[in-house]
Amino acid sequence: MTLLDEIRSRRSVRKYREEPVSDQLISEILEAGRWAPSGLNNQPWRFVVIKDKTFKTKLSEMTHYSGIVAGSDFCIAVFYNSPAGYHREKDIMSIGACIQNMLLYAHHLGIGSVWLGEILKNKDRISEILGINQSNEFMALIAFGYPDEEAAGERLKMNDLLLKIL
Ligand SMILES: Cc1cc2nc3c(=O)[nH]c(=O)nc-3n(C[C@H](O)[C@H](O)[C@H](O)COP(=O)(O)O)c2cc1C
């Protein structure tokens, strides 16, 4: 598969098999996030890996999408380290790039994932549950696991997206 094929075939996966993802592959997914671009190369992302069932259950109670979190093999909580930040909008875009790197690399490994944003409504409680101090602001939870569904999401046509070629 070309990189474009991999980008095009990635879809959010919300149902996972029981099979565990190895620590080696979890490290590689984090490594993909670590190499994302950021303004001034400030790398404002920080990670918490959640494999423990008790923590997954506590997190699952913070979102409408509780079944996804509880049914995942592991999750990565992504935080914005504000002391490392220099420009909030740019820093948050960098964190989006970091998250996308991890989603794509997981897909490359045959591991499904979904970026969960709805849980942000409880961002302060998430930090409390995970024991993370106020220097780090919760941005997103990503759920991972070997896929147990064929997911499908469509896209707008290019004609609807391309405003101009000048
Ligand atoms: C910022 C952001 C927040 C999202 N939040 C959620 C969420 O809370 N729950 C969920 O099931 N999917 C969530 N998603 C996944 C989107 O629904 C999904 O990416 C979109 O429908 C396109 O489908 P695809 O990823 O399968 O291509 C989120 C995606 C992004 C980028």
Query: Rounded to an integer, what distance in angstroms lies between the CA atom of residue 113 and that of residue 107?
Result: 8
Q: Is 11 in the pocket of ligand 1 (CB under 6 A)?
A: yes
Burial category of 30 from C-beta neighbours within 10 Å (exposed 0-12, middle 13-18, buried 19 and up): middle
- What share of residues in the chain are helix, strand, coil (percent, to 5)? 45, 20, 35
pLDDT value at position 161?
Answer: 97
Atom of ligand 1 nearest to the CA of 11: 26
Residue 68 to residue 57: CA distance in whole angstroms: 11
Task: Decide: 115 in ligand 1 pocket, CB within 6 A.
Answer: yes
Q: Ligand 1 centroid to 97 CA: how many Å?
A: 15
Task: Say what the pTM is.
Answer: 0.98
Ligand 1 pocket, residue 75 CB under 6 Å: no
Confidence bin at 150 (pLDDT 50/70/90): confident
Structural domains present in the chain: 14-149 (3.40.109.10)
Report whether residue 151 contacts ligand 1, using a CB cutoff of 6 Å. Answer: yes
Q: Which tens digits make up the pLDDT trace of 100-140?
A: 999 999 999 999 999 999 999 999 999 999 999 999 999 99
Token pair of 10, please? 């990635």
